[in-house]
Every structure is written in structure tokens, then in C-alpha cells.
Structure 1
Amino acid sequence: MTLLPKLIVVSAFVLSPFIQAADSTALQQVLNNPVRSDASKARDIYRHPAETLSFFEVTPKSAVVEISPGSGWYTEILAPLLRAEGKYYAAHSPANSTSDYSKRSLAAFKEKLAANDVYKNVILTEFSPLPGQQVAPAGSADVVLTFRNLHNWYMQKGEQGMVDAFKSFYDALKPGGVLGVVEHRLPEGKKGDDWLKSGYFPQSLAIALAQKAGFKLEATSEINANPKDTADHPGGVWTLPPTLSQKEQDKDKYLAIGESDRMTLKFRKPAAH
């Protein structure tokens, strides 16, 4: 029988001791940066970016890789935060992807980067859940981050694809570096045959696959938990905001729930001996 790792739960609203007061102030300042749209700011009550980045030990001097940044919700925060003293790698879809969705997403992201000078130092790299992907130069990153992406990689390439992905993050990190994962959380009791279609992911499986790639689980947090989310909606996680896949049907009900319940996991690459 596989033994699950002991989890360390960290208070949702206590800033990491690794983040000094000046760094906390810098985080708050970028949250109010005019580059962020009103629609982006409206998500803060669900995504807790200042607390989340603090938990993952991101500072203005960090070298950070964001995996699969999508439309750039966190890019609007990380790019200005890291512009002066840090480094920000955005590992988006491969340029040679055959997926129309990936092509459109990458094109829109490039347009976003070109539209404002605050993004001029963003380093665009590539990621897919395949072996041998280089999301940043080996051993260069202090922190690798991914937000609400695990289910996509698992649907594409299964457990081996997930391990390959985690190995590419491991290679990019410095010894002692942090991997921060936020993902829609599937209750362990709901792992039926069709759980993957829901967009939610089992926390125990996320931990096991990261550990298989060499990471050590250091802590978990309930920063992004939502006890109102029962994770059994007719259209999966996409039933909830911001997608609201059921459109007007029970819209008020889903708006009252808010965004999904999410695991927040901090892994560390072991320091060199």
C-alpha cells in the first residue's frame, strides 16, 4: 500500500517569513498597477495573489518561471514585480503546436506582451508535457509556478506526461528552489471513472507525481480553498466563474459559490550536498 506524505497546512493569511516587509509592499503595489484590468482585479478575492506568491517565496529579485501562463492573469503581476531586479520566464505553448487553441492562445499572449512596455523584459519560452523540455536554462530559476494546469497535462499525456513536466521544472530550478502548484482540487472520495472530465485533480496524485520527479513536499496551504465548492457540477469546474459554462442556468447559484476549491502546494528541489 502506498503511504501518502504527511501534509503541513500553513495558515492562509500568514505571509512567509522569507518575504520581508519591503517585498510584501512591492507585491501590493503591483496588484494596483494600472496594467491590470478590472476583470483581472476582480479575481483577486478568489486567487489571493499576494498571499500565494508570498507562500511560494517570490520576491522582486527572484528568477521565476511561470508554466502555461494562458492569457496572462499572473503575467500582469509577475512582469512588473520582476522587471527591475528579477527575471520572468513565461513558458507558453510551443510555436509549432498543431492545436488551434494553443496557436490562438500563444498569438494573443504575444500581442499582450507587445502592447505594453511593462512586459519588455519577459522571456518567452516553451512548454509541453513531453520529455526534455527546457522551460528556462538549467539551474537558473528560484521559483517555478503553475496555476490550474495539471488537469490539462494529465488529459494530454497521463501520468508519464505529468512526471516529464515535473522533471523539466526540476531541471530549471536551482538546488533549493521552489515549485509552486495551484490546482482545482478533487475530493479524494470522488475519484470515480470520469473524474478527469471534471477539470478537478486529486491532491494525493499531484503530490505523488511531483515526488516521483524528485521534489520534496514542503508545505500545503488553504490560501485558495473554497469550502462552498462541492466539485460535482454538471459542467465540471467550468460551471463556476469565471467560465460559467451553463450560461444563465443557475448563474446566481454558481456566482455565489465563486471560483473553485484549490490546493496550494509548495515543493522544493533538494539542495546540493
Structure 2
Amino acid sequence: MAHAQKAATQPTPQPTSPSKAAVPQTAPQAAPSPAIAAIQAALANPDRPAADTARDAQRHASELLAFAGIKQGDYVADLMPGSGYFTRIFSNIVGPNGHVYGVVPVELLARYPKMADSPKALSINPAFANTSAVITPIIDFSVDKPLDVVWTSQNYHDVYGTLGADSAQRMDRAIFQALKPGGTFIVIDHVASPANASTAPTTLHRIDPALIIKEVQDAGFTLEAQSDVLRNPADNHTLKVFDPAIRGQTDQVVLKFRKPAPKKSA
């Protein structure tokens, strides 16, 4: 009698560990460069008021600072610093071995009597002890040390429109002299259409970028770079910058000029 065939048995599946190839691998995050780390630390400094930090994203502060190249130990002039938003950031970046001058044109004080209040207040604030206020004729722009950077944000049109083209040109030449060889001049301003370039600085508080470039180059600077970080193609350049429909969102040009360094002899 034939024996019944023994039923075949299947091996019990054993749990297996997922292969290493199947495990998602997270690439290590590269550490920020020293320049970017310095910017991040300056923006995170608790001495900055909350009103400033709330504006950082809208003003693209980190991108602008990286573009400008301001670093520890630099001597920087913040020309017409307004509330001191950028002055405070510069102070934190340049550190105790650098200095920041809040420069106010004496010619504009009669029109804007509170213009010097912020740099004066910062100069006596222990948290910003590396800053000082300078009130000077704009056509004779100068501070007590050679500068690495001169920065002006949303102000070139005021000098050009209020004081005139000749004063703006003289300011550019004075800034050229105040900078070290190789120093930079950063100009940020609201964009005007070439069609109304002659009137926009006074009527709209805007300026044609081509006009800025020509004047600054005529003073001896070279145009090194432009940044599009503040450009807004939705701005048609017809509204005053204070109009609620565009305020805080204007199309702005960001220009970096450099004072040429002397060529090294062979």
C-alpha cells in the first residue's frame, strides 16, 4: 500500500531588515559661509527692535547684505539712515573693530529736522557703541576715517530732486574721495520710467536707474554688479512711492559701484 505523500511545507517568511539602499539618506547640511553666518548672527541679535526684525523678509535684508559684502572690521557710512534699520545691522556685522557712521546732510535738516535723531540716539546706546552721527554738507561728504562701504537706501532721488543734479554729482565725487581704493558704493532706490526721469525725483520720489549709473560713473566709479532682489515687474512706475497701492512693494534698483584700486606695478 502506497504511503501518502507528505505535504510540502513552505519555509516561514522571516522578517528582513530594509536594505541600506532603500533607506532615504539625508545629505548633511553644509555649514554657511563665514559671511552668511555673520549676516545671520547680525539679524538675530536681540539688541535689534522687534519692529526691525518684522521687516527683514520684506526688505530682503540678508540678500542685500550678502550682495554688499560688508564684513567684520569694515568702516561703513549709512548715508541718510532714516530710522537706523540698516545702521543697527551694520553695527552688528562690523563688530568692535569696525565702525558705522550715520551720515546726515546738513542741507536737508531744515526740511527734515528729525533726520539726525536716530543716528544720534544710536551713538549713545551702549549696544551700538561702534556707531556715530555725522552731520555734514552733502557736497563735502566726509568722515574721520577712510571708508570701506558707503550705503544709501531710497535716498539718491532726494538728493537729486531736492538739492539738484549738481549737488548729486558733487556728492558722488566726495564719496569717491572718502572711500578706500577698492571700496564700494551701494545705491538702492525706487525706479522711475525714463519717460518722466526729469520730474520723478520730486513728484514720485523715484529716479531713473540710468541717471544714477551715469552720474556715479562720471565721478570715477565702475558699475560692478546689480541685484534684482527688490525688482517688482508689477510696479508700472506711475505712482508715488507713498501711495497705499504700491508702498512697500515698489520696483527698486540695487547697484554696486566700486572705486578702482590702483593697478599693481609689474
What TM-score do the two structures reach when normalised by structure 2?
A: 0.79
- In the alignment, structure 1 segments of 5+ residues that lack a partner are 1-19, 241-252
Q: Is the 8 A contact 1:79 1:118 kept in 2?
A: no
Q: Which has the higher contact order (CA 8 A, sep 6+)?
A: 1
Q: How does 1:169-248 map to 2 (within 5 A)?
A: 169-191=175-197, 193=199, 196-233=202-239, 236-240=240-244
Cα 1:129–1:39 change in 2 (3 A) is same
Q: Is the 8 A contact 2:179 2:259 kept in 1?
A: yes
Return 66-75 or 32-41, whichever deviates more. Answer: 32-41
Q: Is the 8 A contact 1:217 1:268 kept in 2?
A: yes
Q: Is the 8 A contact 2:119 2:133 kept in 1?
A: no
Q: Which has the larger radius of gyration?
A: 2
| C-alpha separation in 1, matches of 2:184 and 2:200 | 32
| C-alpha separation in 1, matches of 2:57 and 2:234 | 14
| C-alpha separation in 1, matches of 2:118 and 2:236 | 33
Query: In the alignment, which residue of structure 1 is the partner of 2:13?
Result: none
1:126 to 135, 142, 158: 135
Deviations 1:31-90 (A, max 9, x none): 122222222222222321221121111112222111111220101211122222322222
Q: Partner of 1:142: helix, strand, or coil?
A: strand
Asked if 1:75 is matched to 2:79, the reply is no
Query: In the alignment, which residue of structure 2 is the partner of 1:113?
Result: 123
Return 64-73 or 29-38, whichever deviates more. Answer: 29-38
Q: Please tell me the residue identity of whatever aligns with 1:104.
A: K
Identity among equivalent pairs (%): 29
Supply the RMSD in Å over aligned alpha carbons: 2.2
| C-alpha separation in 2, matches of 1:237 and 1:175 | 35
Q: Is the 8 A contact 2:122 2:131 kept in 1?
A: no
- In the alignment, structure 2 segments of 5+ residues that lack a partner are 1-31
| C-alpha separation in 2, matches of 1:117 and 1:84 | 12
Query: In the alignment, which residue of structure 1 is the partner of 2:172?
Result: 166
Return 49-58 or 207-216, whichever deviates more. Answer: 49-58
| C-alpha separation in 1, matches of 2:198 and 2:100 | 38
Q: Is the 8 A contact 2:182 2:259 kept in 1?
A: yes
1:89 to 88, 91, 101: 101
Q: Please tell me the residue identity of whatever aligns with 1:165.
A: M
What TM-score do the two structures reach when normalised by structure 1?
A: 0.77
Q: Report how many aligned residue pairs link the two structures.
A: 232
